[in-house]
């Protein structure tokens, strides 16, 4: 989430002044991109998780867990990460729809 905030801050600071039509087009494209990510990106991620345990395998491969853990730490961490990605996507999707 911090990376997203920094990215938007840098992008806004370097973005030139746009006309009303260009600003409207930019906001529409931005909202559409988040809607597509929320529907398809998260859908593909869930499909990969259910078929190949993609998220849990990522945590098992890249992070260290106790051998006595039997994978429960990775499962908890993967689910917590999934919840934060889903919440961010949900906020960005519906936050874009509420703009006037």
State pLDDT tens for residues 13-47: 999 999 999 999 998 898 899 999 999 999 999 99
Confirm whether 84 is domain-assigned: yes
68 falls in which pLDDT band (50, 70, 90)?
confident
User: Does the residue 18 lie in any domain?
Assistant: no
- Decide if 58 is inside a domain: yes
Please give the Cα distance from 46 to 27 (Å, whole number): 27
Query: Residue 36 domain-assigned?
Result: yes
**Distant-in-sequence contacts of 93-97, Cβ < 8 A, 24+ apart:** 93/31, 93/34, 93/35, 93/38, 96/27, 96/30, 96/31, 96/34, 96/35, 97/31
Q: Is residue 2 part of a domain?
A: no
Domain carrying residue 83 = 32-100
pTM of the model: 0.78
Residue 6 lies in a domain: no
Distances (CA, A) of 66 to 5, 55, 59, 81, 93: 33, 18, 13, 19, 37
Count of domains forming the chain: 1
């Amino acid at each position: 989430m911090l990376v997203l905030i920094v990215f938007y801050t840098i992008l806004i600071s370097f973005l030139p002044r746009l006309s009303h039509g260009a600003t409207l087009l930019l906001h529409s494209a931005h909202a559409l991109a988040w809607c597509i990510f929320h529907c398809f990106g998260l859908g593909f991620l869930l499909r990969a998780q259910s078929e190949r345990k993609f998220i849990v395998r990522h945590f098992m491969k890249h992070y260290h867990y106790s051998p006595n853990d039997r994978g429960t730490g990775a499962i908890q961490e993967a689910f917590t990460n999934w919840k934060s990605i889903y919440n961010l996507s949900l906020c960005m999707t519906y936050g874009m729809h509420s703009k006037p």
